[in-house]
Structure 1
Amino acid sequence: MAGPEEVVEICAGAGGQALGLERAGFEHALAVELDENALNTLKHNRPSWKTALGDVANLATWKPSDYEGIDLLAGGVPCPPFTIAGKQLGATDERDLFAWAVELAGVVKPRALLLENVRGLSMPRFSGYRQHVLDRLAGLGYVASWRLLQASDYGVPQLRPRFVLVAINKDDAPYFSWPEPAEHVVTVGEAIGDLMASEGWEGATDWASKADKIAPTIVGGSKKHGGADLGPTRAKRAWREMGVDAMGVADAPPQPGATFEVGPKLTCEMVARIQGWSDDYEWTFTGRKTSRYRQIGNAFPPPVAAAVGTSIMRALRNEGDPAAGVPVDHDPIYLALRKAGGFVTQAQLIRAVGGIEVPELERRIGLLSRDFDLTIETRSAGPAYQLGGFKAFVGQSDHLRHDAFQKNLSSIS
């Protein structure tokens, strides 16, 4: 009888995805993480697991070829290259490891690949980037698809949209389907009302009634931007409407007789509940308060990871009825340029994509040029375009990522 399905997890963080995948039935062959505080939490909770500390793209940290044929390669690679609140540098951001992780699948040759990131990666800005990923995975023998998942659909009391990529080998892919949302939506008051009352605060019941809502996305922040709070101005306003003071994190639940102008602050334990940790997903976070908050806020909610992991597990075990196929949404401009293999005139592109207006075409060409080398040739009849190489780091020894990564290492999280 075959042994249990195993996973190698890159950019493992403090263990949100790890715990969810364990719940889905996977055993960890290795977990790799850059941040020592997060890895300490992971090791504290699962001391028997093999772990590696350091830059996941550095062969001195681990040797991917040692894990060839693993059942699942998974990870939550850095979000800043794609976040809507950031510069959306994508392929030219030294923290971008998404394209590298896709190439890693060609080395490790897992039966399945799971990568998650922020909603920004789903936006039109990155349509060419996404298409390149799908094309590359198809070339490696995988059937891949993207899905924007809301954490609140899987028992987590916050919105927290995550853009998830799942790629499965062609034999098992027909058995994969995205997880269905849970029937019950959990609210903040329901999730942490008992913690608010745990020290005897008399206002806990009324507070829980006011907080009978879904929370905005918990923001973990970064080493670069200081201490713990619950996010930008818009998020703070939403927290205030629920009776939560979002300007920082409390050391303890409210005490008897406590009164507040806005409401109590949340403790790290409360934030962890809102992020999906609970009695069903027990976990202990180590380190100082700000570090613990950052570990929690940057994690992939365990119930969401469990839901996706369970769907992947069923596919690998060929459970259920196979589907006919996975629809693929192509970026028509990228596709036309890639197929041409040479220069494509503006008029040809307009015809290929169905009559797009020139200003919109130029805007989208500009977006593509941020992630791909793009040559523009001026001709008498108008410009012509040629698609070149992908700018992202995919393992090149001379890529600018290496110097930039070392220069900014102290602020990368």
Structure 2
Amino acid sequence: MTAESLSRPTVVEVCAGAGGQSLGLHKAGFDHLLAVEIDVTAADTLRQNLGMPVVVGDVADPNVWNPADYADVALLAGGVPCPPFSAAGKQLGTSDERDLFAWAIEQIPIMRPKAIMLENVRGLASPRFAAYRQRILDRLDFFGYVGEWKLLHAADFGVPQLRPRFVLVAMPLEEMQFFHWPEPIAGARTTVGDALHPLMAADGWKFADEWRDMANDIGPTLVGGSKKHGGADLGPTRAKQAWAKLGVDGRGVADSRPGPDAPPPSVVQPRLSIEMAARIQGWVQEDNYVFSGRKTSQYRQIGNAFPPPVAKAIGDSIREALGHRGPIRTDLSAGIGTQDPVYRALSRSAQPLTLEELVAAFNEGSVAAVQQRLAALQRDFHLEVLDDNGTLKYRLGEFRGFTGQSDHWRHEAVAKFRSRVS
């Protein structure tokens, strides 16, 4: 390694995929000590393009890697699987074997990173997962870190699609007080037409200008699908309809760009090629990025990626904070952020609480609102309901999720369905 590379902050990335986050962090000045990825083809993409150390396998398998070997890394980052929280799925949370968010948090006392950055889908921001998020913040506080969640929109950073991403950043207070979320880049928003016009016109398609005028908005979220569901198309019916309004046939992915004899888009809408899908996701020509594998695998790698420009923007902000650069924040002294006051009340009480006590803790509302919170909470936590002389009381039990337990049911599920886990 060169002296220059040694002076750059280090990162270990879990669930790295094909490297959207990796590329963005490289552009922000980070160097990877290791990337961990379960998909063999995506891992090959990482090695071929970024030349960094990659291990292949279940990130929670101690035979794949040892987090303790990477103690004191500057950044622990990852794009842990989205399906457990996605509104497009069943939002199974801790009941989905792909849920690794809580596991990643438990690596903090082992690795002692200076910063953590984990991203996921907007669904994790929903009321369904309020207690889950609260537990994450409480665990971070226990480990001596201050955590914040933020919903960022990829279109604000020059990516021509909606793609909202829910991001967690955490650091010790000494560094977190210098952390500021990246602001939307002025004038960065670009349309699908403007982003893809050079590619649509590259092979002489004479209707490329006409198509650009049709594709005059940002696109819907690119859907990569999982190994359980989805293939090389642009997603469910609603997504395909949205793409059709932009002059794109979302029923499949093209093998090549439109040629000089291709009909006008008003007659036959073009499909996106792999190269175009990557451009929609935030890769640019200068990246010279090549995806390994067959077309379906390539498209899945792209569709499941974290857009590199968004990863770079957050990485830049983290580097500034680690260097104690910029203004000091004054809004972090109030303690742990509150995501779910019902969970907080139950987790802090040594005694079971009545519904009335939980309503008072919620401080917003009705019995029905608290009951909704309890119903959601019960999907990710054991919840005891006790009858005390006709009065129902509630006591919080154990977290149902996977945090690294050697006897957790997830191990059997991953071993049984290894080829379908992504």
Interval containing the TM-score (normalised by the shorter chain): over 0.9
Give the aligned residue type for 1:272. Answer: A
Give the aligned residue type for 2:192. Answer: V
Question: Which runs of 5 or more residues in structure 1 are unaligned?
Answer: none
Q: How far off is 1:57 after superposition?
A: 0.4
| Alignment-derived partner of residue 357 in structure 2 | 348
Q: How far off is 1:381 after superposition?
A: 4.3
Q: 1:142 aligns with which of 139, 145, 151?
A: 145
Give the aligned residue type for 2:154. Answer: A
Given the two structures, how large is their TM-score scaled by the length of structure 1?
A: 0.97
| Alignment-derived partner of residue 404 in structure 1 | 413
Give the aligned residue type for 1:54. Answer: G
Any idea what SS the aligned residue of 2:23 has? helix
Any idea what SS the aligned residue of 1:172 has? helix
Any idea what SS the aligned residue of 2:138 has? helix
Given the two structures, how large is their TM-score scaled by the length of structure 2?
A: 0.95
Contact 1:240-1:262 within 8 A present in 2 as well: no
Deviations 1:84-138 (A, max 9, x none): 0111111121111000000011211100000000110000000000000000001
**1:178 and 2:187 matched:** no
Counterpart CA distance in 1 for 2:213 and 2:36 is 41
Give runs of aligned pairs for residues 22-61 of structure 1, distance below 5 A. 22-47=26-51, 49-61=52-64
| Alignment-derived partner of residue 80 in structure 1 | 83
Runs of 4+ aligned structure 1 residues displaced above 4 Å come to none
Contact 1:341-1:387 within 8 A present in 2 as well: no
Q: How far off is 1:72 after superposition?
A: 0.2
Counterpart CA distance in 2 for 1:156 and 1:131 is 30
Q: Which moved more, 1:225-234 or 1:27-36?
A: 225-234
Give the aligned residue type for 1:73. Answer: L
| Alignment-derived partner of residue 6 in structure 1 | 10
**1:156 and 2:162 matched:** no
| Alignment-derived partner of residue 369 in structure 2 | 360
Question: Which runs of 5 or more residues in structure 2 are unaligned?
Answer: none
Q: 1:222 aligns with which of 217, 226, 232?
A: 226
| Alignment-derived partner of residue 313 in structure 2 | 307
| Alignment-derived partner of residue 295 in structure 1 | 301
Counterpart CA distance in 1 for 2:177 and 2:278 is 35
Give the aligned residue type for 1:228. Answer: A
Give the aligned residue type for 1:297. Answer: G
Counterpart CA distance in 2 for 1:280 and 1:175 is 32
Counterpart CA distance in 2 for 1:365 and 1:126 is 11
Q: Percent identity?
A: 53
**1:199 and 2:203 matched:** yes
Aligned CA-pair RMSD:
1.4
Q: Which moved more, 1:225-234 or 1:32-41?
A: 225-234
Deviations 1:362-399 (A, max 9, x none): 22111001111110012344311001111111110001
Counterpart CA distance in 2 for 1:4 and 1:398 is 39
| Alignment-derived partner of residue 273 in structure 1 | 279
Q: How far off is 1:262 after superposition?
A: 4.4
Q: Which moved more, 1:197-206 or 1:377-386?
A: 377-386
Q: 2:345 aligns with which of 303, 315, 336?
A: 336
| Alignment-derived partner of residue 92 in structure 2 | 89
Deviations 1:20-74 (A, max 9, x none): 0000000011011000010011111123x11111011011111100000000000
Q: How far off is 1:190 after superposition?
A: 0.8
Counterpart CA distance in 2 for 1:386 and 1:68 is 36
Contact 1:373-1:390 within 8 A present in 2 as well: yes
Give the aligned residue type for 1:107. Answer: I
Deviations 1:137-181 (A, max 9, x none): 011111110001110011100000110000012211111000010
Counterpart CA distance in 1 for 2:65 and 2:235 is 34
Counterpart CA distance in 2 for 1:355 and 1:54 is 45
Matched pairs, number: 412
Q: How far off is 1:406 after superposition?
A: 1.2
Q: How far off is 1:245 after superposition?
A: 0.5
